[in-house]
């Protein structure tokens, strides 16, 4: 059923918003505690009549939202992640994770208020929006970087793979020079060898 919020309710909405909730939640919690009114025509008219008193609450919350916007606007959150051989993350960056990261900076924004254009599944810099209040939005950046320790491990693994590739090429060249046309193991492409070595490292 639809209700009109007369107070800000976390994970549901801001004062003055009309939201859908279960009938039980409305009748057993929201309405008895003065957090909402049933959104029928009578109450819509009542809400309109109370705009002056509600307006003060709405303005106070909007002012608070603008203060949060100042804290968020233009900042960059840096997340350190481990990646697979393809460069993709193990899992995706979630709104809950971004909300928690903002909280570590003393900024409280519910995860439902954070919006991404698309799921973050790789490394790079991405843009997110926090829709804090009606007509109050803040834009911030998310920089997803590889774990430095893993980056070093991958670099060493790739260097080792390249050395092995050169050794195989040299062995093949020597075998051909000696007239050994039958080589027991087919030569792998450099890309295949690198992938195999990195995959092996990541599984260990």
Domain boundaries, the chain: 2-71, 72-146, 149-203
Give pLDDT, residue 183.
47
Neighbours of 46 (CB within 10 A): 12
Indicate the SS3 state at residue 184.
coil
- Residue closest to 164 by CA, chosen among 181, 183, 188, 182: 188
Helix (H) or strand (E) holding 65: helix 51-72
Residue 49 burial (10 A CB sphere; 0-12, 13-18, 19+):
exposed
Higher pLDDT, 171 or 196: 171
Render pLDDT for 84-131 as a digit per residue (tens, 0 to 9).
766 678 788 999 999 999 999 999 999 989 999 888 988 889 999 999
CATH for 72-146 is: 3.10.430.100
What distances in angstroms separate CA 43 from CA 17, 25, 29, 86, 139, one per listed residue?
13, 18, 18, 56, 35
- Report which of residues 152 and 59 the model is more confident about: 59
Other CB atoms within 10 A of residue 25 CB: 14
CATH superfamily of the domain spanning 2-71: Ribosomal protein L9, N-terminal domain (3.40.5.10)
Most confident of 14-23, 38-47, 73-82, 185-194: 73-82
pLDDT digits (tens, 9 = 90+) for 43-59: 777 766 666 667 788 88
Q: Which pLDDT score is estimated for 202?
A: 45
User: What's the pTM?
Assistant: 0.60
């Amino acid at each position: 059923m639809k209700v009109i919020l007369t107070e800000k309710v976390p994970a549901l909405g801001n004062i003055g918003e009309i939201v859908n909730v279960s009938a039980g939640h409305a009748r057993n919690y929201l309405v008895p505690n003065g957090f909402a009114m049933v959104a029928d025509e009578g109450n819509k008219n009542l809400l309109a009549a109370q705009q002056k008193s509600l307006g003060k609450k709405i303005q106070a919350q909007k002012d608070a939202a603008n203060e949060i916007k100042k804290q968020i606007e233009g900042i960059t959150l840096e997340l350190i992640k481990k990646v697979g051989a393809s460069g993709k993350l193990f899992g995706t960056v979630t709104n809950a994770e971004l909300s928690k990261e903002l909280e570590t900076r003393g900024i409280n924004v519910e995860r439902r208020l954070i919006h991404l254009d698309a799921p973050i599944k790789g490394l790079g810099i991405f843009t997110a929006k926090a829709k804090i209040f009606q007509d109050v939005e803040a834009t911030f950046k998310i920089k997803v970087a590889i774990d430095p320790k893993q980056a070093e491990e991958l670099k060493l693994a790739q260097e080792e793979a390249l050395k092995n590739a050169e050794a195989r090429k040299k062995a093949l060249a020597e075998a051909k020079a000696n007239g050994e046309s039958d080589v027991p193991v087919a030569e792998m492409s450099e890309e295949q060898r690198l992938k195999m070595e990195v995959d092996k490292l990541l599984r260990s």
